[in-house]
Homo-oligomer: A and B are copies of this chain.
Amino acid sequence: MRITLINPNTSRAMTAKIAAAAREVAGPGVEIAAVCPETGPAAIESHVDEAFAAVAIVRLIEDDIAAGGSDAYVIACFGDPGLDAARELVDVPVIGIAEAAMHVATLSGRHFAVVTTLSRTLGRARDLLARYGMGEACVSLVGSGIPVLDLEDTASTSFERIAALAADEVAAGADVIVLGCAGMTDLCHALTARVGVPVVDGVGAAVGLAATMVRMRVGTSKRDEYAPPPRAAVTV
């Protein structure tokens, strides 16, 4: 089984980190590939960035299909950009890390909190909560003020900031913490140890869900909405 992770920003370091986290959860018999685009934003931190990310994901999946395709795809960006578009392109599972993290969080406790990067991304997270039916289960969304790429450069400082915010949420009633950025994946186990409740990283969750669906032989439904798109007349 081959699962391809798509990091829609251009950071190769983050792509490598995400792949490592995925391999830790994948289990035996699952091959992990990880790709990112050559051009575009180095981090996805705005709605404008998400617009470019969605197009990058479409193109990377088309490239992967041309090269033989994968058994499942994971979109490794917490805004789940391009998720619906990707599902139109294939009949295998496509999982976003935000949806994966949110679903798994509800299996671990009753009330999760999301700790993410810049507060300007909370609107997108709120829209995803609503779409996935998680509005009641999520008791708080909090921005740390840490830009995505700073997670790469100053991990120790970021860890303390994120740990403090997570601990505040636990004190206020959250019994599970969800990490709101793929770039936080390497902080997960240390945070669990620090805050004393389960901390959920969407990358591992998405890989596990994708592998489960492959073994269940459940892919993306091709009935109507996710059927191959009718792209008859594209001017290039």
The chain A residues found within 8 Å of chain B, CB to CB, are: 10, 24-29, 38-43, 45-52, 54-55, 57-58, 82, 84-85, 87-89, 93, 95, 99-100, 103-104, 106-110, 118-120, 122-124, 127, 130-137, 147, 149, 170, 175-176, 189, 192, 196-201, 204-205, 207-209, 211-213, 215-227, 229-236
Q: Is B235 within 8 A of A42, CB to CB?
A: yes
Alpha-carbon distance A58/B49, docked complex (angstroms): 10
What residues of B have a CB within 8 angstroms of the CB of A50 in the complex?
Answer: 84-85
B132/A133 in contact, CB under 8 A: yes
Contacting pair B205 A216 (CB below 8 A) = yes
Query: Is A108's CB under 8 angstroms from B25's CB?
Result: no
Q: Quick check: A218 and B108 within 8 Å, CB to CB?
A: yes
| Contact indicator A176/B217 (Cβ below 8 Å) | no
Q: 3 nearest interchain CB pairs?
A: A208-B212, A133-B133, A46-B229
Which of A104, A131, A133, A212 is packed against the most chain B CB atoms within 10 Å?
Answer: A212
Q: Is there an interface contact between A212 and B205, defined as CB atoms closer than 8 Å?
A: yes
Contact (Cβ within 8 A) B29 A27: yes
- 19 A–B pairs (Cβ distance < 8 Å), ordered by A: A10-B235, A28-B28, A45-B229, A48-B89, A48-B229, A95-B107, A103-B107, A106-B133, A109-B221, A110-B225, A119-B224, A120-B224, A120-B225, A127-B131, A176-B221, A192-B218, A198-B219, A205-B212, A208-B216
